[in-house]
Amino acid sequence: MEAPAPHSPAEPGSVQIVVTSPEQMRELGRRLAKLLRAGDLVMLSGELGAGKTTLTRGLGEGLGVRGAVTSPTFVIARVHPALGDGPPLVHVDAYRLSGGLDEMEDLDLDVSLPDSVVVVEWGEGKVEELTEDRLQVVIHRAVGDTTDEVRQMTVTGVGERWVTADLSVLAA
């Protein structure tokens, strides 16, 4: 992974990261897991195939949870219990959900959030009301007929929880 180019500074509370392979995306997820604790909400945005589930797979490895982290597109949500003392991982794919928080209520995310790390793919406009504190991860990739593995990522901490967090460790 590479640090951002000097001409594209991240906004305060943000870090920009370049990822060049799926293995690097998983490693980024493992590093991200070290920053997370029960009660954290992580929102992932990006085109289809950007690497959201790959990042979450690494996050699950870093958290030490049970079960293979796979895309929950057709089941909407998967819960991965912790194998040790850490929090469980709740992995949600809101792609097929058209409503906002009302539709998400059936998933009981508000109940799961205090005790879990909740990762929501495609959650923008749907889960922000769960908490004032969240980590937003935006992944950009080349679209069209390409085999380009390069991903431009912006990780932004929103809310009091992330004011003192050192997100620059993710770009290491």
Please count the CA atoms within 13 angstroms of the CA of 11 that sit on its side-chain side.
7
Beta strands in 71-126 (DSSP E): 77-80, 89-93, 117-121
Q: Who contacts 158 (Cβ-Cβ below 8 Å, separation ≥6)?
A: 13, 132, 133, 134, 135, 136
35-52 pLDDT tens trace: 999 999 999 999 988 999
Q: Which tokens belong to 142?
A: 């080349």
Beta-bridge mates of residue 151: 19, 141
Q: What is the mean pLDDT of the chain?
A: 84
139-157 pLDDT tens trace: 998 776 666 789 999 999 9
Q: What is the 3-state secondary structure (H, E, C) of 146-161?
A: CCCCCEEEEEEEECHH
pLDDT band for 109, please (50, 70, 90 cuts).
low
Residue with the larger pLDDT of the pair 112 and 142: 142
Give this prediction's pTM: 0.84
CB 168 within 8 A of CB 35: no
Residue with the larger pLDDT of the pair 80 and 95: 80
CB 28 within 8 A of CB 166: no
